[in-house]
Structure 1
Amino acid sequence: MLAQSIRASRQTLARVARPALVSRRTFIAPTAIRQADIVQDLYLRELKNYKPPQLKASDAEGHVQKFTVPKAPASPEESDIANELKTYETQQVELEGTTTEDGAAPVEEDWFEEEEEDTPAAH
């Protein structure tokens, strides 16, 4: 009896499991019906009905300045050439190794002079 019950249970299990393994193609209709969006419809209707205003030539008058060519700047070389030339001619020429107006020889400075280190006193 046990063998018959096992065979019967196997057959029932096979029958139950078989439809789960086979997939079927079915058509699923959408359940939610598209409802009209009032705001979107109003927006699209207004976009279609919009007509931009016509542009006139006089529309830019208050917003654009008239162009005027700027005057040419004065050349800095033309300012006082005669006086500058006179001061250049009266300058004294500086030569290396000559004495200054005082008659003293120019002092040479040694820029790479190292400072002497103080030696610490022995205790």
Structure 2
Amino acid sequence: MLAQSLRASRQSLVRATRQQVSLTARRTFITPSAVRQADLVQDMYLKELKAYKAPAVKPSDAEGHVQKFTMPTPPKSPEEADIANDLQAYEAQVPEVEGQSAEGESAPVEDWFVEEAEEEEAHH
């Protein structure tokens, strides 16, 4: 009889532990795994951010940062007399032509396309 009572108590103990394991598994699955704690720094930051009010913008605030616009002065037009004198000086110039010597000078004649005779090497 003692063996039967031990066997019965063992079976009831196994059933009870199985029921508790299944209940704890359900409970841990439903409840969140991490408990959210208050973040003091974040709370203070959000409180100060909500309490901040931007200062009003005045039209005179930009005076030190923006330059005043002034129209550029128009360029001076050249005088007609200077243009006529410059044109006469240009027409009076003697054009320089390459290959012709100036008055009284003898220009050296250079031929750029003359090929020098190559030395022949004797290969026997």
Asked if these proteins are the same fold (TM beyond 0.5), I'd say yes
Equivalent position SS for 1:80: helix
- Match for residue 45 of structure 1 among 40, 44, 47: 47
Give the % identical residues: 57
Alpha carbons of 1:46 and 1:107: their partners in 2 closer, same or farther (altered >3 Å)? same
SS of the equivalent of 2:94 reads coil
Give, as a single letter, the amino acid of the residue that structure 2 aligns with 1:80: D
5+ residue gaps, structure 2, are 1-24
Alpha carbons of 1:103 and 1:35: their partners in 2 closer, same or farther (altered >3 Å)?
A: closer
With over 3 angstroms needed to count, the CA separation of the structure-2 counterparts of 1:73 and 1:117, relative to structure 1, is same
Q: Specify whether residues 108 and 78 from structure 1 end up closer, same or farther in structure 2 by C-alpha distance, changes over 3 A only.
A: farther
Whichever residue aligns with residue 45 of structure 1, its letter is K
Calculate the TM-score normalised by the size of structure 2: 0.56
CA distance in 1, matches of 2:69, 2:45: 43
TM-score by length of 1: 0.57
Deviation at 1:35, TM superposition (A): 0.2
Q: Higher helix share goes to which structure?
A: 2
Structure 1: runs of 5 or more not aligned:
1-24
**Corresponding residue for residue 112 of structure 1:** 113
